[in-house]
Structure 1
Amino acid sequence: MKPIERSEPPPAGRLRPPGIGLLLAEVRGIFEFNASLLLSPLLMRAPRGDGHPVLTLPGFLASDLSMTPMRRYLKELGYDSYAWKMGRNIGGVSRMRAALRDRLAEIHAATGRKVSVVGWSLGGVYARDLALHAPDMVRYVVTLGSPFASDVRATNATRLYEALSGEAVEDNSELRNAIAGDLPVPTTSIYSCTDGVVNWRTCVLRPSDTAENIEVYLASHVGLGVNAAALWAVADRLAQPEGEFRQFDRSGPFAIAYAPPENAQS
């Protein structure tokens, strides 16, 4: 498949949110969900889990309902999946930190095991913050279309986020820079260049021996958490033994849906 056209290198200074065309095309998320249902026999061929706990964090304005397909899929693969149980996510990284850490500690204490955290959009920003402040309880972090790097204002939800959360995304530069930096646990950022809500450049982390980017072709922002290729990638990443990390193998049944590693790291 031909790679999505990009401007290289990413522009300096301010980035723009995705255009109106990509935003309107977000309606295709329902088709991504339906495709995943049709492809469920293939999805169940993903590597099996070892039973460790996985906490799922919803995106901005979403609730645990949005992560239900993810939790059910991971449960079927052998993981102990958990909802965040905090209602609708109306934002506030600093405001939510204590409650999120309490939820993480509750799961860690109940299971006696480190917890992997999967966060969609804003939920991924929370997940990275949790890993920074509680690395002794976090096993792995996977983010899905999460704007944590570069110019994080480059989303079509920034003004609404600031209005509802009471926090400006640029209020705490130290916190913002920490979340955008290297994490003390293995992490994977899954994103799409056709995201209509978040500028894809804000989702790209610095690759390392324990960190990687996975670009999914043609995925929407609202469909990324139910996209078949993204679900497979999440399952594959979580199946790695604790304390080990290998780069994602794009040769599976959804190989055509992933950009080559060199593109994902541009």
Structure 2
Amino acid sequence: MNTALEEFRPSAADEAAAAPSTLVAAAEVPRVVLAVDAYVLASPLLRLAPRGDGHPVLVLPGLLAGDWSTLALRRFLRRQGFHPYKWHLGRNVGPTAAVRAELPAAIERISRRNRSTVSVIGWSLGGIYARDLAHQHPEHIRQVITLASPYRLRTPGQSRAHNAYHRYSHLHAVEGDPAQVTGMSPHPLSVPSTSIYSRMDGIVAWQHCIEPESEQSENLRVRSSHLGIGFDPHVLYAIADRLAQPEGEWSPFAPPKALAPLFPAPDNPHQEVLDE
């Protein structure tokens, strides 16, 4: 059986992981302001990040966000020689019929227009969509990068976004929590994948953003917040590095020495550890 389709078996740590504390959640807003400031200050240095080959990159926003939230990321990617695409579906309120129909069509359209496979970056809920796209249409996907995406979410209490998600449940094509709705998201992918997560996440239990590493998958632990992870300069460097790899020559991320302290050793997803 294809390993990408093997049954997903949650561990005891998966079941026990709870949503971040109120204190960590409350720090999200000031920390995203700091991340944006850092992005602006580091913009000249980010020009030294790895450069791309012009291949298309579809960028998917998180819950209640739209293309405006990924503007800085897409500008950075364009400057570094990639061809970023918006998702063009307005505010992300969950798996609506439009989302479920348009994303597969968009991947096929972008791939055909560029005569190339497409890399997909998904932020939070957008990463759950990205992984499902890779399961459904691996022939069009070059690689998947997720940013603070809880694709192994098991219960509503493991995310502080639960109430916001279910506020729009009447618009969803199917009922249930994000990972349950998309179904295949927790399973290993058949294309290269990088999950970028932080123990400092104030929205989702970080344990649900990581998976066992394989020959073509990895977890990058960073020092970021949930809302600021798409602005932090060291995260943007890692994204560019992953995307700059020649197709078919994927290898694990190795940060330059100057940035190494910003990338702590990733966690074992099947072990419970204390939050920082």
Give the structure-1-normalised TM-score. 0.89
Partner of 1:199: 205
Residue of structure 2 aligned with 1:163, choices 149, 167, 179: 167
Pair 1:121–1:138, CA change in 2 (3 A): same
Task: Quote the Cα distance in structure 2 between the aligned partners of 1:30 and 1:21.
Answer: 17
Pair 1:265–1:259, CA change in 2 (3 A): farther
The Cα shift of 1:248 comes to 0.5
Residue of structure 1 aligned with 2:147, choices 144, 155, 162: 144
- Residues 191 and 203 of structure 1 are in contact (CA less than 8 Å); yes or no, is this contact kept in structure 2? yes
- Residues 10 and 201 of structure 1 are in contact (CA less than 8 Å); yes or no, is this contact kept in structure 2? no
SS at match of 2:196: strand
Residue of structure 1 aligned with 2:23, choices 12, 21, 24: 21
SS at match of 2:146: strand
Q: Which moved more, 1:206-215 or 1:241-250?
A: 241-250
Q: Which moved more, 1:121-130 or 1:32-41?
A: 32-41
Cα RMSD (Å):
2.2
- In the alignment of these two chains, the number of paired residues is 256
What CA deviation, in whole Å up to 9, does each residue of 1:60-82 have, x standing for no partner?
00000000101000000100111
Pair 1:84–1:172, CA change in 2 (3 A): closer
Matches within 5 A, 1:58-207: 58-92=61-95, 96-151=99-154, 153=156, 154-166=158-170, 167-170=174-177, 173=180, 175-176=182-183, 178-207=184-213
| Residue type at the aligned position of 1:248 | F
Partner of 1:243: 248
SS at match of 1:233: helix
Residue of structure 2 aligned with 1:210, choices 216, 221, 233: 216
- Residues 15 and 151 of structure 1 are in contact (CA less than 8 Å); yes or no, is this contact kept in structure 2? no
What CA deviation, in whole Å up to 9, does each residue of 1:115-143 have, x standing for no partner?
00001000000000100001011101000
Matched, 1:228 2:236: no
Q: Which moved more, 1:28-37 or 1:56-65?
A: 28-37
Give the structure-2-normalised TM-score. 0.86
Task: Quote the Cα distance in structure 1 between the aligned partners of 2:178 and 2:252.
Answer: 35
Matched, 1:53 2:56: yes
What CA deviation, in whole Å up to 9, does each residue of 1:15-38 have, x standing for no partner?
311111011000110111110111
Q: Which moved more, 1:188-197 or 1:95-104?
A: 95-104
Q: What are the ranges of 5 or more consecutive residues in structure 2 without an aligned counterpart?
A: 1-10, 272-276
The Cα shift of 1:11 comes to 3.0
Task: Quote the Cα distance in structure 2 between the aligned partners of 1:185 and 1:90.
Answer: 27
- Residues 52 and 244 of structure 2 are in contact (CA less than 8 Å); yes or no, is this contact kept in structure 1? yes
| Residue type at the aligned position of 1:191 | Y
Q: What are the ranges of 5 or more consecutive residues in structure 1 without an aligned counterpart?
A: 1-8
Task: Quote the Cα distance in structure 2 between the aligned partners of 1:44 and 1:66.
Answer: 21
SS at match of 2:106: helix
SS at match of 1:116: strand
The Cα shift of 1:88 comes to 0.5
Identity of aligned residues (%): 41
User: Structure 1 residue runs of 4+, over 6 Å off?
Assistant: none
